[in-house]
Structure 1
Amino acid sequence: MPSTAADLPAEPSFELFTPAGYARLLASPRGRAFHLSWMAHAEEADEGVFDRLLARVDVPELNRMVAIHANDEKRHADLLRQCVARGGVAPEPVPEDLHYIEQIRRLSGGSDLEAIFANGRWSIMQIFAMLQVVEERGVRQFPMVA
C-alpha cells in the first residue's frame, strides 16, 4: 500500500472500503478528486438504459418516473464533476475494477443491452429492481455521501 495519503493504490484494494481506508482516500485533494469522479462515473453508467426505457415504457406515470430518475442521475453526475473542478485536481481515471454497474450487468448476464429488454414489460421490472439494488447498496456503503 502507498505510504502517503496523496498516493492512490495501483490496484483497487479492499482496504479502500474500510473506514480507515476510506478516510485515507478522502484525506488528500487527489483522493477526493478521484472519489468524486468515481461517484460521477457511477451516476453516468447507465449506458443508454434510461433512453431505452423511455422509448419502451408506455405507461405515462412510469415513463415520468423513468425520466425523473434519468435526469437525477445526469444532474448528480454534473454536480459531482463541478465539485471535482472546484478542487483543482485532475482525477485519476476510474479503473475497470471499480466500474460496478458494468460488473453487475455482466455478472447478471446482461452484457448485451438488447437481450436485457427481450422480455418486454418483465424486463422493465427487472431493470427497476436492479436499479433499486444498486441505489440501496450505494446508500448503505457510502452513507456519508449518499
Structure 2
Amino acid sequence: MKILKTDAGMLTDFEVLDMLRARGAQRDPMACIGLVANSECKVYDYLLQRAACNQTREVIESFKRRYEEFKKGNEKRKLTKAELLNIINFRPSSHAELYAVIPNLDARFKVNEDGGSKDVDELLNIVHEMLPPPPQQPEQEAPEHEEGTQDAEAMEQN
C-alpha cells in the first residue's frame, strides 16, 4: 500500500473495511495471499465482527445529517470529529458506553438532578435509529463442570 497524502483525515471503520474489500481481502487468510498483507486480512476479519460490516455510506451520511440537526441551537451538544467518528465506529448503545466515548459528558450535556439527561437520551436514540447494530456473536457454550469443580461447589454449600 502506498501513502499518497499523509494526514488526509480520519477514516471510519466502514471506510477501512470498504477499502479492504476493494483490495480483495477475504475472511480466509489463505484466499487473499498475494492480494493483501496478512495483517490486512486480520483487520478485515476484525471489522467484520464490528458495526462497520452492517454500515453503508448512505447510513453514515444520514447519521451525520441527523446529528447536525440535533446539535443546532445548542453549542454544548457539539462533538469533535474524533468523538463523532468513535460514535460511528463503536455505536454506543447505553449511557455507560456513551460516557466512555465522550469525555466530560456531564458538563457538556444537560444532566438532571437524578443523573438522567434528555440530550444524552436523544443522542442515543439517534444512534439506535440511524446506525445498524453490530452482528450478533454466536453464544459460546458454557464449559461443562469438571469433577473437581463439582466437589468445590459441594463444599461451598456445606
Whether TM-score is above 0.5 comes out as no
Relative to its length, the structure with more helix (as a share) is: 1
Calculate the TM-score normalised by the size of structure 2.
Answer: 0.22
TM-score normalised by L of structure 1: 0.23
Q: Which structure would you say has the larger Rg?
A: 2
